[in-house]
């Protein structure tokens, strides 16, 4: 065990990192209590929000943030918005372990320490074996979050995020 593997914050060696999980897509938090109970349908993998003029559709996905010079990933369990066709295709095939597909979505959670004044387009890869779909920010979209995703974050940054997760989760 080399010193470099030790966490700079707690001094332990993390062999895996806890996932950073978002309970709801961000627009949920902008609703009134009445709207939350009347207009939202949600389970572990799907969420719809009914507005007077439209329905917004979200699915739960995983994003695996790579870390420089490390085998570990930091997993984010988050929500992306899909259009009606993609949402229905994913819903129709949910539970079909042979289903795979590529969808297009919009990131619907705000990761800490980034400014999201514009929505981030995401490629959504539905995988065989009933795994949670994995998302990748659209490569040529200019945003620090997208750059970090593809370049990897530093071990120190990962540790900072991990301890942020550990601090907020009830244990
Ligand atoms: Zn640590």
Per-residue pLDDT tens over the stretch 76-101: 999 999 999 999 999 999 999 999 99
Which residues contact residue 45 at a Cβ distance below 8 angstroms, ignoring those fewer than 6 apart? 59, 60, 94, 132
Q: What is the pTM of this model?
A: 0.92
Torsion of CA 105, 108, 112, 117, to 10 degrees: 90
Q: How confident is the model at residue 171, as a pLDDT?
A: 45
For ligand 1, the distance from its centroid to the CA atom of residue 15, given in whole angstroms, is: 10
Mean pLDDT of the region 18-42 = 96
For ligand 1, the distance from its centroid to the CA atom of residue 154, given in whole angstroms, is: 14
| Both structure tokens of 113 | 């320490």
> Residue 41 above 60 pLDDT?
yes
For ligand 1, the distance from its centroid to the CA atom of residue 165, given in whole angstroms, is: 11
For ligand 1, the distance from its centroid to the CA atom of residue 34, given in whole angstroms, is: 41
For ligand 1, the distance from its centroid to the CA atom of residue 7, given in whole angstroms, is: 4
Mean pLDDT of the region 58-82 = 96
> Residue 109 above 70 pLDDT?
yes
């Amino acid at each position: 065990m080399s010193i470099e593997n030790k966490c700079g914050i707690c001094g332990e060696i993390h062999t895996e990192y806890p996932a950073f999980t978002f309970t709801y897509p961000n627009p949920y938090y902008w609703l009134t209590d009445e709207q939350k109970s009347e207009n939202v349908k949600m389970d572990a993998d799907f969420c719809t929000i009914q507005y007077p003029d439209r329905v917004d559709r979200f699915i739960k996905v995983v994003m695996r943030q790579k870390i420089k010079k490390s085998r570990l990933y930091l997993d984010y369990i988050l929500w992306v918005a899909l259009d009606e066709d993609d949402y229905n295709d994913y819903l129709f095939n949910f539970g079909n372990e042979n289903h795979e597909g590529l969808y297009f979505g919009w990131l619907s959670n705000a990761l800490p320490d980034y400014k999201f004044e514009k929505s981030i387009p995401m490629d959504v890869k539905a995988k065989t074996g009933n795994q949670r779909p994995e998302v990748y920010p659209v490569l040529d979209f200019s945003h620090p979050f997208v750059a970090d995703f593809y370049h990897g974050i530093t071990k120190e940054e990962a540790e900072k995020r991990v301890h942020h997760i550990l601090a907020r989760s009830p244990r």
